[in-house]
């Protein structure tokens, strides 16, 4: 399993975290998404076929690019 904490400057509240969570949770291989609106961070656990590059691309696509 791989894990990474992404810092996402566009997160401004709990709704943003929910939006990111919903999108990332739909990606095959993603097993857990935990967000913190105060830190503007999202911690993601995944297995193949997901990858950090793919997660970053998805974040970009939904307008929450990782720093």
**Residues in contact with Cu ion by the rule CB under 5 A:** 12-13, 15-16
- Closest approach of Cβ 30 to Cu ion, in Å? 21
> Would you say 12 or 31 has its CB closer to Cu ion?
12
Q: How far apart are the first and last CA of the chain?
A: 22
64/42 Cα distance (integer angstroms): 11
- Closest approach of Cβ 50 to Cu ion, in Å? 24
48/67 Cα distance (integer angstroms): 23
- Closest approach of Cβ 32 to Cu ion, in Å? 21
């Amino acid at each position: 399993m791989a894990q990474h904490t992404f810092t996402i400057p566009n997160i401004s509240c709990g709704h943003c975290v929910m939006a990111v969570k919903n999108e990332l949770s739909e990606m095959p291989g993603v097993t857990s998404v935990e967000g913190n609106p105060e830190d503007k961070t999202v911690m993601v656990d995944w297995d193949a076929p997901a990858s950090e590059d793919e997660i970053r691309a998805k974040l970009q696509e939904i307008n929450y690019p990782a720093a």
